[in-house]
Amino acid sequence: MITEQLDFTGRTAIVTGGGTGIGYATAMQLARLGADVVVAARTVDELEAAAKRIADASGSRCIAVPTDVKDEEAVIRMVEKTIEEFGRIDVLINNAGGTRMGPLESIPTRGWDSIFELNVRSAYFCTREAGKQMIAQKSGSIINISSGAGENGVKGGAHYSAAKSALQMFTRVTAAEWGRFGIRANCVAAGAIASERVLDAWKVAGLDADEMGAAIPLGRTGTPDEMANMIVFFASDAASYITGQTIGVNGGPALGGIQLD
């Protein structure tokens, strides 16, 4: 039954960027489905408060492990702490990411590199280190969080589009190499997901969320919980024969053509 396949009792999940937005929503869902959860991010107070809310709401164990995922040694310590506390790693959600937009001709080299460090290199660190435990267990599920920019590109985000596209290919190759160990790797590409921080960023950029939503086939922007639904599905036994895939949670495709009434 599908309900049994969504049971995470006895499993441990790491969620990077787990203190807010999509990461927080995903960590909360996993905990409510029985998982022990490690949430990781840089902002200590915010992260610890999130871990407490998740534990109180779910009854599952949830610990905060402050981590800069761009720092290789910090990622190693995060994984070691997870094993120390829970003894295993069953799910890894590489959710930490982000960008600063700008025209291609003015993106500095350091700015380009920093976007790849945050969106690709960090996922490599986390996957490699958590993967060692998953390989030993002969099981595991890895979900990388991408963006529609990685599928279609976005003007003003050449570095971000390239990084998220790279993350999607990294997902595909991870699935191909590690399937023999019982490890699955999939990717969820976010569309216009209106988390609190994203809404703030849209306001700064002069973007109106309602106008953006009106241009989407379903007529609205998405929520962090709607992203989390797909992430949790990929992490669960309900997706046991799905690996190497990227799926968009975006409210539908934007197509050209004639105007329809």
- Over the stretch 216-259, which tens digit does the pLDDT of each residue have? 999 999 999 999 999 999 999 999 999 999 999 999 988 877 77
> CB within 8 A of 180, min separation 6: which ones?
none
Q: What's the full length of the chain, in residues?
A: 261
pLDDT of residue 151: 93
pLDDT of residue 194: 85
Q: What are phi and psi of 63, to 5 degrees?
A: -120, 150
Alpha-carbon distance of 239 to 185, in angstroms, equals: 11
User: Looking at residues 110-114, what average pLDDT do you find?
Assistant: 96
> CB within 8 A of 175, min separation 6: which ones?
183, 184, 185, 186, 243, 244, 245
Considering just the CA atoms, what is the radius of gyration of the chain in Å? Answer: 18
pLDDT of residue 58: 98
At 1, the pLDDT band (50, 70, 90 cuts) reads confident
pLDDT tens track for 172-185: 999 999 999 999 99
Helical packing angle, 196-204 and 21-32, nearest 10° = 170
pLDDT at position 9 over 80 = yes
Domains of the chain: 6-248 (3.40.50.720)
Answer yes or no: 24 catalytic.
Answer: no
User: Looking at residues 140-159, what average pLDDT do you find?
Assistant: 95
The H-assigned helical ranges of the chain are 2-5, 21-32, 44-58, 72-86, 109-116, 122-137, 148-152, 158-178, 196-204, 209-214, 224-235
Quickly tell me which residue has 């976010």 as its tokens: 190
pLDDT of residue 127: 98
pLDDT of residue 203: 77
At 198, the pLDDT band (50, 70, 90 cuts) reads confident
pLDDT at position 201 over 80 = no
Q: What is the mean pLDDT of the chain?
A: 95
pLDDT at position 100 over 90 = no
pLDDT of residue 47: 97
At 260, the pLDDT band (50, 70, 90 cuts) reads confident
Q: What angle do CA 191, 174, 177 make, to 5 degrees?
A: 155
Catalytic-labelled residue, pool 24, 124, 160, 241:
160
pLDDT tens track for 62-99: 999 999 999 999 999 999 999 999 999 999 999 999 98
pLDDT of residue 256: 75
Alpha-carbon distance of 164 to 143, in angstroms, equals: 13
**One-letter amino acid of 24:** Y
**One-letter amino acid of 17:** G
pLDDT of residue 183: 98
Q: What angle do CA 244, 245, 247 make, to 5 degrees?
A: 160
pLDDT of residue 254: 82
The DSSP secondary-structure symbol of 202 reads H
**Model confidence pTM above 0.85:** yes
Alpha-carbon distance of 247 to 164, in angstroms, equals: 13
pLDDT of residue 66: 98
Percent of the chain with pLDDT over 90: 85
